[in-house]
Amino acid sequence: MQREDHHEPGIQTVILNQYDRVFKLAYARTKNRHDAEDVTQEVFLRYVRTRPVFENADHEKAWFLRVTMNCSSSLHSLLSKVQKMPLQDQDGYVSSPEEDVLKEVLHHLPQKYRTVLHLHYYEDLKIKDVAKLLGLKESAVKMQLTRGRKLLQEELEKEDGYV
């Protein structure tokens, strides 16, 4: 029988609340659904094993984002050593044609730009929070956002109908 503190949400509640955030960041970093699912599973296994106590919702969000980034990096490192053929993602989580184009273009950007763009725009983190999460100076995050947006715009302009 599992003990649950009445002041803390249960494991299922936390997983349900954080699943989309973890999966989307994992997907942005790994570029395919299968690896993103593996990363997501690993993140929640770590959560269940350690059961960290969070000070507040921001602390919880930051923990899940940091662990997702760490697990994604570990997977990327492992895959590059194994030289595995990448799986083609056939069923992405984004549905509209415009979002599909954006997703495709984002995946062609270098990882550091994908990460800051995802955290800032999809996770609605402020620049100072992105900097703290990534262990960077705010000026470095601003520069990566600027360069990432410029690269994104250049790539989108190459796509038909997305100027």
What average pLDDT does range 34-52 have in this prediction?
Answer: 91
**pLDDT number for residue 5:** 46
Q: Which of the pair, 146 or 9, is modelled with greater confidence?
A: 146
Report the percentage of the chain scoring pLDDT > 70. Answer: 74
User: Per CATH, which fold does 94-163 belong to?
Assistant: Arc Repressor Mutant, subunit A (1.10.10)
**pLDDT number for residue 81:** 41
Sorted by where each begins, the domain ranges of the chain are 1-86, 94-163
Q: Which of the pair, 94 or 119, is modelled with greater confidence?
A: 119
Q: Which of the pair, 107 or 69, is modelled with greater confidence?
A: 69
pTM of the predicted model as reported, rounded to 2 decimal places: 0.55
Cα separation of 39 and 29, whole Å?
Answer: 10
Cα separation of 36 and 136, whole Å?
Answer: 24
CA atoms within 13 A on the CB side of 119: 29
Domain 1-86 has CATH 1.10.1740.10: yes
- Average pLDDT of every residue of the chain: 78
pLDDT band at residue 61 under the 50/70/90 scheme: very high
Q: Which of the pair, 147 or 101, is modelled with greater confidence?
A: 147
Instruction: From 114, 112, 140, 110, select the one nearest 128 (Cα to Cα).
Output: 140
Whether 101 contacts 160, CB under 8 Å:
no
pLDDT band at residue 96 under the 50/70/90 scheme: low
